[in-house]
Amino acid sequence: MKNDLLSLTPNVRAKLAHELIISLDEEIDTNVSHAWQDEINRRVSEIKRGVAKGRPAEQVLAEIRAKYKFLFISLNIVNIFGLYPDFILYVFLRKLGI
């Protein structure tokens, strides 16, 4: 089966990889989901109390782009082949815990 999958075009393999990784999110442990909800609630509470401040998404994304410029160059190369650069960025940022 592995050889059959590897014989697919890069675009088809990228789409398949995308679907497979997305399917992993469907099997998230409910304890993890609850932990994330608790974390979201904690952060919202901190913002409301003035303990923490939110930042515009464009500012945060600009900082990420500057810090990981090599990644965006790679994503542009990936995009030439019609793959999913946004999806690859999503996976990368999740690995970094961002």
pTM surpassing 0.75? no
Q: Does residue 86 sit within a domain?
A: yes
Number of domains forming the structure of the chain: 1
Q: Does residue 26 sit within a domain?
A: no
Handedness of CA 76, 57, 46, 30 (dihedral sign): negative
Q: Does residue 63 sit within a domain?
A: yes
Q: How far is the C-alpha of 76 from the C-alpha of 60, rounded, in Å?
A: 20
| pLDDT per position as a tens digit, 33-82 | 788 889 989 999 999 999 998 889 889 888 877 887 766 666 555 554 55
Q: Does residue 65 sit within a domain?
A: yes
Q: Does residue 7 sit within a domain?
A: no
Average pLDDT (12-38) is 76
Q: Does residue 36 sit within a domain?
A: no
Host domain of residue 62: 56-98
What pLDDT band is residue 87 in, cutting at 50, 70 and 90?
Answer: low
Q: Does residue 50 sit within a domain?
A: no
Q: SS3 string of the chain?
A: CHHHHHCCCHHHHHHHHHHHHHHHHCCCCHHHHHHHHHHHHHHHHHHHHCCCCCCCHHHHHHHHHHHCHHHHHHHHHHHHCCCCHHHHHHHHHHHHCC
